[in-house]
A = this chain, B = another copy of it.
Amino acid sequence: MKPDHSPSEVNRRVAIASMALLPALSGALLSTSVQAQATSDAPLASWNDGPAKQAILDFVRSTTDQASTKFVKPEDRIAAFDQDGTLWVEHPIYSQVVYCLDRVPAVVEKDPKLKNVEPFKTVLSGNREAIAKLSLRDLEKILFATLTGMSVDDFEAEAKKWLTNAKDARWKRPYTDLIYQPMLEVMQYLRSNGFKTYIVTGGGQDFVRVYSNQVYGIPVEQVVGTAAGTKFGYRKDGTPFLTKEPKLLLNDDKAGKPEGIHLMIGRRPHAAFGNSGGDREMLEYTGAGDGARLMMLVLHDDGQREYAYGPAQGLPDSKVGTFSQPLYDEAKKKSWTVISMKSDWKRIFAFEEKA
């Protein structure tokens, strides 16, 4: 019953915890025109018929039908979604880590003595192989240096600018285009049935909040993520402002997910979606409640349209989200639904041709 503590899981957790120092913002929207709307006429239009689609339809029917013994009052309808690997592409590297690496030149410009100090020197070299080999301790240094010590407003402006301009290497598109269309449809379908949808991510709460409303239709207060503390202070003219502190407040991964859910939402979700060992405890916690519950795991088994990784089903392991064999076994045992990207999804991204 205990979570596995394989080195890759632990490393992932540490990496995410460090990443978490992503500062704050006040909720404005991106100016890019990424679509938060699902384009469906029928619900779940991008889903193939099959057990995964059926599980979603059955769950919604039984929780919203007043005649059902599993009816859930509208105010109790909470659904939680992991982000990286569940709502958008996480492979081969979390977008937020790319953001931090991209921020290094600006940090060095402000503090030129870092130029010849590791790990900044390596990042500045642009040597991708060397960068990929940076230790977790080095990564932490980069995250702290690029993500703290600025006002929450400055962070928001910087992150927004980056998200507008940066492009993924494979698809040559903004990272916010790499959202899974079928998952947008699930979120919209749940919302149209009275569910409040939350993102519960190991990534930085404030980073995700920069685009959550525009991209997912999820307001900033419904983003629960790894969070650093802020510090209230006054500018010289007396204006109050908040500064992002290098102090971890909530490590919203693995056991931290139900803990974060309790802190930020205050009640147990009825549905939870994830894709890795980082989501295990959230799904267990969700599943331990009474009545109708829906637990789903996205399996990355489509190397052609996206990526194929994770030891479950004999796929190669990944540095990011680990869908391990024990997790797969637990899913089967507890009747969690595994979503095959390859066979359950007609299309993966909104920018693909309609199937």
What residue of chain B has the Cβ atom nearest to residue A237's Cβ?
Answer: B1
- The smallest beta-carbon distance between A27 and chain B, in angstroms, is 3
B1, A234: Cβ atoms closer than 8 Å: yes
Q: Does A271 contact B (CB under 8 A)?
A: no
Quick one: closest B residue to A1, CB to CB? B238
Partner of A152, one of B25, B262, B284, B288: B262
Which residue in chain B gives the minimum CB-CB distance to A280?
A: B240
Stretch from A86-94, A161-169, A215-223 contacting the other chain? A215-223
Given A75-B213, A238-B1, A240-B281: A249 and B263 interface contact (C-beta under 8 Å): yes
Kindly report how many copies of this chain are found in the complex they form together.
Answer: 2
Residue in contact with A25 in the complex, picked from B76, B196, B240, B266, CB distance below 8 Å: B266
Residues of B within 8 A of A249 (CB): 249-250, 263
Interface: A265 (CB within 8 A): yes
Complex Cα distance, B323 from A127, in Å, reads 60
Partner of A284 from the list B209, B240, B266, B281 (CB cut-off 8 Å) is B240
The answer to whether A266 touches B232, judged by C-beta atoms less than 8 angstroms apart, is no
Which residues of B have CB within 8 Å of A209?
Answer: 266
Q: Is the CB of A2 within 8 A of B234?
A: yes
Q: Interface residues of A: mostly helix, strand, loop or mixed?
A: mixed
Cβ-defined partner of A288 (8 Å) among B76, B221, B239, B259: B239
Q: How many residues of A contact B (CB 8 A)?
A: 46
- Quick check: B262 and A230 within 8 Å, CB to CB? yes
| Contact indicator B232/A264 (Cβ below 8 Å) | no
User: Is the CB of A242 closer than 8 A to any CB of chain B?
Assistant: yes
Per-residue 0/1 for A235-263: is the Cβ within 8 Å of any B Cβ (1 yes, 0 no)?
00011111000000110000110110011
B27 to A76, Cβ gap below 8 A?
yes
Say whether A229 faces chain B, with CB atoms less than 8 Å apart: yes
Q: Does A285 contact B (CB under 8 A)?
A: yes
5 A-B pairs closest in CB distance: A27-B267, A220-B266, A232-B255, A1-B238, A26-B267
